[in-house]
Amino acid sequence: MVTTVGTETTFEKLVQNLLILEHDAIAAYQSTIERLDDPAAKAKIAQFKGDHEAHVAELTRMAGQLGVAAPQEGDLKEYLTTGKVALASIIGDRSILKAMSTNEIETKMAYDHASKNTAASPEAQAYFAKAYADEDRHKTWMDAAAAA
């Protein structure tokens, strides 16, 4: 799926849309943790979920500085991200991790766009680049674990 998150023309909307995306991601991570059988994979996914929770905390801080409402939940995409995980759980852990890897594509793309978005402050762009690196690390691990 191609995302437009990260390409917003205002910093306020950029932060709000990234928050919605992060809440969708957290829901998918929670669904994954509940469905995985492998304890080591569960622990790694929980660690990655913590990265997303840290992103929410920082984005919420940014929203506060901007004086805009910080979304507290995802949107309809949550059903897609968690639904893929639920369907994959029928087949097993590898399929769950493959489904999660596809979810990471959108999040990586959003942070890549956001890190280059001139509506954002230079400090925010740097944070978005760090978040992109987190998402890239998550996807790389998921791809490797799903292939093992």
Whole-model pTM? Answer: 0.86
The reported pLDDT for the residue numbered 79 is 40
How far is the C-alpha of 146 from the C-alpha of 122, rounded, in Å? Answer: 36
Ramachandran class of 75: left when φ > 0, alpha when ψ lies in -120 to 50, beta otherwise: beta
In order of their start, the domains of the chain are 11-65+72-147 (1.20.1260)
**How distant, in Å, are the alpha carbons of 2, 29, 57, 60, 114 from that of 13?**
18, 24, 17, 12, 11
Q: Tell me the angle at which helices 11-35 and 122-147 cross, rounded to the nearest 10 degrees.
A: 20
Interval 88-116: pLDDT, tens? 454 556 777 887 888 888 999 999 999 99
How far is the C-alpha of 90 from the C-alpha of 138, rounded, in Å? Answer: 22
Interval 53-68: pLDDT, tens? 999 999 999 999 999 9
